[in-house]
A and B are shown apart, each in its own frame.
Chain A
């Protein structure tokens, strides 16, 4: 099993450009989430989804859009990149319910110049 796959692993964007971070899981997990990791701030929840067609905002949703058309995929869109969005982004998935814990992808390191 591949688990949670994130692409690309590295990306450099210019301010104002748009892009989509891809996330796919092959574990048939209902729950999926996107986090950003910044030094000293831990992981902050951007958006999450409890199933296909259902998404909700986390702690830091501004500047990011998501959709969940299938159980397997949960892409994160940056519509107009800003230097403040320079970060490491992690996608994660889980079985439904608060007790399982999430399985994480290996991350995407994004730099906005």
Chain B
């Protein structure tokens, strides 16, 4: 069964500091990995995704994530936090396979607070 674990339900950083949001997945087959962002009272917006190929993927708003198969991780980073980055972030996984077709499974989410 596929699953996603996000370490840390709340992360607080100062404006201009590095952002690191952690995501680990469980999978017996190659995964497709996603990061979504949710601003207050809104739906989810795709930040970036890993499918195949380059393991370092770049997304919108200066975010990037690195797929590390040996560590089953897909951590999200941004070199310098901005006040507008304050939101909830979700990691998600999907797979090929008849039992998983169409499923996108999410982690519990991490709320990012950015302090001035």
Footprint of B on A, CB under 8 Å? 4, 31, 33, 35, 40-45, 48-50, 56, 58-59, 90, 92, 94, 98-99, 101-107
**Total interface residues on B, using CB and 8 Å?**
28
For the A-B complex with A40-B109, A98-B96, A101-B104 known, give 8 more contacts whose Cβ atoms are closer than 8 Å: A42-B90, A48-B103, A50-B102, A98-B95, A101-B92, A105-B43, A107-B42, A107-B43
B12 to chain A, nearest CB (A): 17
CB < 8 Å neighbour of A98 from B44, B90, B100, B108: B100
Q: Chain B residues near A58 (CB, 8 Å)?
A: 103
Known: A40-B9, A98-B96. A90 touches B104 (CB 8 A): no
Q: Chain A residues near B51 (CB, 8 Å)?
A: 99
Q: Is B73 among interface residues, defined by CB-CB distance under 8 A?
A: no
Known: A58-B103, A98-B96, A104-B43. A40 touches B108 (CB 8 A): yes
Q: Do B106 and A98 touch (CB < 8 A)?
A: no
Known: A42-B108, A48-B102. A101 touches B46 (CB 8 A): yes
A11 to chain B, nearest CB (A): 16
User: In the complex, what distance in Å separates the CA atom of A22 from the CA atom of B102?
Assistant: 20
The 9 A-B pairs with the shortest beta carbon distances in the complex, nearest first, are A98-B94, A104-B43, A42-B108, A99-B51, A50-B102, A43-B106, A104-B44, A106-B43, A42-B106
User: In the complex, what distance in Å separates the CA atom of A59 from the CA atom of B43?
Assistant: 20
Q: Do B32 and A99 touch (CB < 8 A)?
A: yes
User: In the complex, what distance in Å separates the CA atom of A94 from the CA atom of B36?
Assistant: 14
User: In the complex, what distance in Å separates the CA atom of A78 from the CA atom of B36?
Assistant: 27
B107 to chain A, nearest CB (A): 6
Known: A98-B32, A98-B95, A101-B34. A45 touches B9 (CB 8 A): no
Q: Do A106 and B42 touch (CB < 8 A)?
A: yes
User: In the complex, what distance in Å separates the CA atom of A77 from the CA atom of B44?
Assistant: 22
Q: Do A90 and B107 touch (CB < 8 A)?
A: no
CB nearest to A6 among chain B residues: B43
Q: Chain B residues near A105 (CB, 8 Å)?
A: 43
